Structure 1
């Protein structure tokens, strides 16, 4: 953790809601440090308290115990206007802006600085143009919002938050309902913003694969447990990613970054290039085929790939993984291998 880059901190928070003299604790023992220049992903199952944590950070509800500190001051000591100059938020619900152009929506991000009258100074215009440029939406800035795709709409919302020019950018599931390409593009865009704009970017997400590819830091929330923080790579090696899984039957496979059923056969080493063997194992797992060791050899022959299956004294060659799987599926799991 870099103390110099830390902008938001908390130690041993209790989160929840008060009703009269009673407190409903949603999450406990929550400690974190959010750093500028880093993309941080908050992950955890539904109902564990992620939204409550975000609302507490935003100052919408007070912590039940201890405080969240922004620039070393409790967040409750900031006015709503001053806090909105520090923290910009992109939520899942869409704003009613179908008749506005992209640039007009991005300009709404300047409201904490201009007020609702919206008299934009030269500096405001520059912030708006920079936000549009940073999110690569120059080509649609004059188009109405009603004509945009879901991926474009999400970029506009991010641009509006950037125009707000806070030091912290919080996004609630920004890749939900997007296709694979747009999910990757949005997350890599957020990583670029964190690095180039020196923002502290906090993303609430269930998209584990893309979060591993893009995040500098993970915050893992699990019911009844303290918040676990660390780099994705360290948490993977420490088997902490398994905290996200609903039961002991599932585990995160460190070898290929996939969630596996613990009851699955652990496939042995295959003869041949490892980058190819990885995909053979995946196909075998998917089809619940349990081969014995040294039964499959992979050979490259020029631009061709050969998959050789040894059964008893016979060796069969297949040109594709699909044809190999079809053959094994036809045989069922009753076949045995032995040294010829």
Structure 2
């Protein structure tokens, strides 16, 4: 998804001597409500937040549905006013920054549907240059170069001349990400940018965002449900738990502390801190001895676990049945209803009677 190209020169004239990144100080996010008597009241979703997303890093925002991730993200970009505290972008107080200045510092990609009208993909991405074009809105050659780079960066260069209204959801998400990059901001906030992408494209876009953060010195904050991918790729994590506390640190910090498991473990799902993945939580109904090489063993463990079986250690007396790999896709099952099978599919069917 990445491409070799000449990157646009970043305009640094108005960015000198600015602190970098995004930070919150005592931030409370939520909603202002009004009673039948006209009295206002605040309903905080998350509070007491002292968070930092650094320039040059990809920070991911994780948490269960309804935990407050979207509310936090919308407050960080100024669409919702904070209930308490403040947000700083490049050292400047978000609430005291003019819309024009903010548009040069901050780019946002939300999940809201966008009606592109009759715009082409190139024109839609070109809207990201408007904070830099002044009153006329005309794009210079330099502006056009930035737009072309942003489209190529997200793997959408081949879509440039197509009507934006004809794009698939996944293609549209790439173009909206390109529009954000075309702003040449200091901070990019994205809400579920991979939601409509297939698995390879999700990986490619997530890695692209991390690489852009490092190569361009951007502060990139992404809200996502791609937990396992985020924990592998992100530099830092903000994790909202079930009690609406926010844990911050490297992925390994939150895995080791148990915060990830506490936030996402469920009756039938358990997080494995060693592999960084989720597996089915099932009561083991039997132990099985396994004789297989190292490259086959993990696949056997997965297949047997799905059927409620565990792999026993060598010589374990609790194992009264065995699976032996015979090369290729051939396995011998020793135990009740022993058999020889020729695929993992046949294997899982056969062990269901154990």
1:325 matched to which residue of 2?
A: 348
Aligned CA distance change for structure 1 residues 268 and 163 (closer, same or farther; 3 Å): farther
Runs (5+) with no aligned partner, structure 1: 334-340
State the 1:274 CA deviation.
3.4
Return the alpha-carbon distance in structure 2 between the equivalents of residues 6 and 281 of structure 1: 47
2:235 to 216, 221, 226: 216
Q: Which secondary structure does the structure 2 equivalent of 1:66 belong to?
A: strand
Return the alpha-carbon distance in structure 1 between the equivalents of residues 252 and 288 of structure 2: 24
Q: Which secondary structure does the structure 2 equivalent of 1:132 belong to?
A: helix
Report the TM-score, using the length of structure 1 for normalisation. 0.84
Pairwise mapping of residues 1-340 of structure 1 onto structure 2 (< 5 A)?
A: 6-19=20-33, 20-115=39-134, 117-245=136-264, 247=266, 250-265=269-284, 270-289=290-309, 294=314, 295-299=321-325, 301=327, 304-311=328-335, 316-329=339-352, 332-333=353-354
Structure 1 range deviating more: 264-273 or 213-222: 264-273
State the 1:45 CA deviation.
1.7
Contact persistence 2:236–2:248 (CA under 8 A)? yes
Contact persistence 1:299–1:307 (CA under 8 A)? yes
Aligned CA distance change for structure 1 residues 246 and 209 (closer, same or farther; 3 Å): closer
Return the alpha-carbon distance in structure 2 between the equivalents of residues 77 and 5 of structure 1: 16
Aligned CA distance change for structure 1 residues 289 and 246 (closer, same or farther; 3 Å): closer
State the 1:227 CA deviation.
1.1
- The count of corresponding residues between Structure 1 and Structure 2 is 325
Return the alpha-carbon distance in structure 1 between the equivalents of residues 125 and 287 of structure 2: 52
Contact persistence 1:100–1:145 (CA under 8 A)? yes
Q: Deviations over 1:122-145 (max 9, x none)?
A: 332232222123223222211211
Contact persistence 2:74–2:80 (CA under 8 A)? yes
State the 1:173 CA deviation.
0.8
1:337 matched to which residue of 2?
A: none
State the 1:89 CA deviation.
0.6
Runs (5+) with no aligned partner, structure 2: 1-17, 34-38, 315-320
Contact persistence 2:20–2:91 (CA under 8 A)? no
Aligned CA distance change for structure 1 residues 105 and 290 (closer, same or farther; 3 Å): same
State the 1:72 CA deviation.
2.2
Contact persistence 2:322–2:335 (CA under 8 A)? no
Q: Deviations over 1:267-301 (max 9, x none)?
A: 78744333322111211222234565554455464
Kindly report the root-mean-square deviation, in angstroms, between the aligned alpha carbons of the 2 structures: 2.8
Return the alpha-carbon distance in structure 2 between the equivalents of residues 297 and 283 of structure 1: 12
